[in-house]
A and B are shown apart, each in its own frame.
Chain A
């Protein structure tokens, strides 16, 4: 972490203008007339609303698009000609990423690189500098602190901004972030002690606010989920789930995909990957008709298993950033905060020998 640098609102606008002028695409939260927000390209800071609503979809859409071409093919008689996807992307800057979205990039990196390398994911990651903003919009569904992150976590970001009077404090979290700040030093000045104090205070307050929503022991949850595959608890989750997959599509860490071919003409077409969801009844069905996850209880169990047992047992953290989008998006009111509280309670009882 660097000593704090300060950037005023005007200087930030200047920085955005300079980056845009250099030909780098800048992506930031943009609020629509109805108040909803998306991570969209901007030409000037005035187009962005850094402290507006939580953008949907999450930032992952810019790294793992809802659908993308893996390759194209063209038939010439009995021969096939393959067209490859791009192996690099133009540089881009994300400004004002939510910390929960930036952290998700780092979390999904593990899956995309655990031995086979997913070049498309990596090429987009390599092309992108991420500047996140300490969370400006905490609500009842947020629980990032419960999964080891926080509203001011810099995980997955190159630079973290914290809002203070008239501007932002900036700290770099990676070498790329340090280089970005050094390259654009003219827009930054030394932070005043009062600004540093203000930032410290707001960061602490934000953490407390999220901690009040959910406080659980994720190690204990991981253990319980791993040990209780056949627990009756799972039977209580399916009836409330209609399998729509909204939770997976809004989730910044859900990365499961389908691969399918699309003919775009006679003898030519593309192979695509598209977001998929383990909540769909066809996700795991075999050609024979046998389905290892034959009912919604099993499919919802898979969601919790993957996020809080399978991924953690391989990579150490939860496959969840506590952004709360799945809770806000669920049409049936499935509430991950409640579910984690319940599991944590059962795990605690078991630890104490009460169960």
Chain B
């Protein structure tokens, strides 16, 4: 198992499958097909007490359409709301895309384990993300930046197919402007625009080029399977040990609490033993994800 720890069973809205009611307070269109919702808990007590750790996920529901699983994309250091980012690709996500500011949706969670950020104090951190894979990583990035003094160098390598597919654009600008963050953005060849000032190329070679030292460092990586598959060996070549590389798996889930039986990879339940795994833990799993 990864060093990441399974979260103890926390508070519930009511019975196990009953969601908290949350209000859509803000909608941000990240790309033509990806949207971020900012959600506020309707019960003031829950709004006050709700807590989670970076890397945990939840079940978001549009009443009448069903539930969908996403990470919590906002950091635990920002209180009073949570955010989720999703691509409208199925029944529930298409319905969630229709939610307006002021509408009520459901949220169950937080579920699963988390990135062991407290163990990273004093270390340099390399974040690698592709496409919408930045959503779970963004939660960790802001968590780290909100506690900036506790960590060493922060390097972020983020790539997408095209400029239009980059998510959290306003935050990319914010990170680029900071002198305590080294941000490298890239788009796939052909995905650039005339105004594009970032790099052109795939994520893996961009990481190799950025080449932050693996000494006293951890890497956090999330993205499409191809990005993870190609970047893991590159990180190994750069000197990152499998115990120092963290990723998060996004298997299909329904219950989120270890009952419904669909997210397992080998004997591991992604919803309970994950979604955060070290590369070492991932390599011990059968290749079924």
Contacts and interface: CB of A to CB of B under 8 A. Distances in A.
Interface residues of A, number: 52
A285 B66 CA distance: 16
B261 A261 contact: no
Nearest to B95: A261
Nearest to B106: A80
Contact of A276 (B61, B257, B260): B260
Interface string B236-268: 000000000000001110110111111111110
A287 interface: yes
Contacts of A290: 225
A263 interface: yes
B289 interface: yes
B190 interface: no
Contact of B93 (A269, A287, A293): A287
B63 interface: yes
> In this complex, which of A84, A115, A287 has the most chain B Cβ atoms within 10 angstroms of its Cβ?
A287
A80 B21 contact: yes
A180 interface: no
B260 A258 contact: yes
Given A111-B259, A256-B260, A292-B265, A261 B66 contact: yes
B228 to A, nearest CB: 13
A287 B258 CA distance: 20
B259 A314 contact: no
Interface in B15-58: 15-19, 21, 23
Nearest to B23: A78
Given A284-B252, A287-B90, A269 B66 contact: no
Interface in A255-285: 255-261, 263, 269, 271, 273, 276, 278, 283-285
B260 A257 contact: yes
Contacts of A112: 259
A230 B87 CA distance: 33
Interface string B56-91: 000001011111000000000000000000010110
B104 interface: yes
Contacts of B250: 286
Given A287-B89, A292-B265, A313-B267, A263 B64 contact: yes
Given A117-B16, A230-B286, A73 B63 contact: yes
Interface residues on B, range: 35 or more
Given A111-B259, A116-B257, A273 B17 contact: yes
Contacts of B23: 78
B122 interface: no
B146 to A, nearest CB: 30
A278 B272 CA distance: 19
A298 to B, nearest CB: 7
Contacts of B259: 111-112, 116, 118, 255, 257
Nearest to B20: A82
Interface string A302-320: 0001100110011000000
A75 B14 CA distance: 19
A39 B252 CA distance: 34
Given A271-B17, A287-B93, A313-B267, A259 B254 contact: yes
Contact of B266 (A85, A229, A259, A284): A229
B288 interface: yes
Contacts of B171: none
A108 B90 CA distance: 31
A82 B103 CA distance: 15
Given A73-B63, A115-B272, 5 more contacts: A70-B18, A117-B16, A257-B255, A287-B93, A293-B288
16 contacts: A70-B18, A73-B64, A78-B23, A116-B257, A117-B16, A257-B254, A257-B261, A259-B260, A261-B63, A271-B17, A271-B66, A271-B67, A278-B262, A283-B262, A293-B288, A314-B267
